[in-house]
Amino acid sequence: MPRGDKCYVDSFYPRCPVRVDNVIMPANLIPLDIVDFDVILGADWLHYNRAHIDCYGKLVTFLRPGLPEVTFVGERSGVRHGVISAIRARKLLCKGCQGYLAHVVLNDVASSSVEEVGVVRHYPDVFPEELPGLPPDRDVEFSIDLLPGTNPISLTPYRMAPAELRELKIQLQELIDKGFIQPSSSPWGAPVLFVRKKDGTLRLCIDYRQLNRVTIKNRYPLPRIDDLFDQLKGACVFSKIDLRTGTYQLKIKDEDVHKSAFRTRYGHYEFLVMPFPILCQNTLKCIKTA
1-15, 114-128, 164-178: range with lowest mean pLDDT: 114-128
Go through 214-253 and write b for each residue having 16 or more CB atoms within 10 A of its CB, e for each that does not.
Answer: bbeeeeeeeeeeeeeeeeeeeeeeeeeeeeeeebbbbbbe
Rounded CA-CA distance 40/46 in Å is 11
Residue 273: count other Cβ atoms within 10 Å of its Cβ.
23
Mean pLDDT on 212-231: 82
Question: For 19-71, how does the pLDDT look when each residue is reduced to its tens digit (9 = 90+)?
Answer: 988 899 999 998 887 777 788 898 999 999 999 999 888 899 999 999 999 99
| Residue 38: partners with Cβ closer than 8 Å, 6 or more residues away | none
From-to residues of CATH 3.10.10.10 in the chain:
114-289
Alpha helices in the chain (DSSP H): 43-48, 86-94, 118-122, 162-177, 209-213, 225-231, 281-289
Summarised one tens digit per residue, pLDDT across range 142-182 is 888 899 999 999 999 999 999 999 999 999 999 999 899 99
pTM here?
A: 0.52
CATH code reported for the domain at 114-289: 3.10.10.10
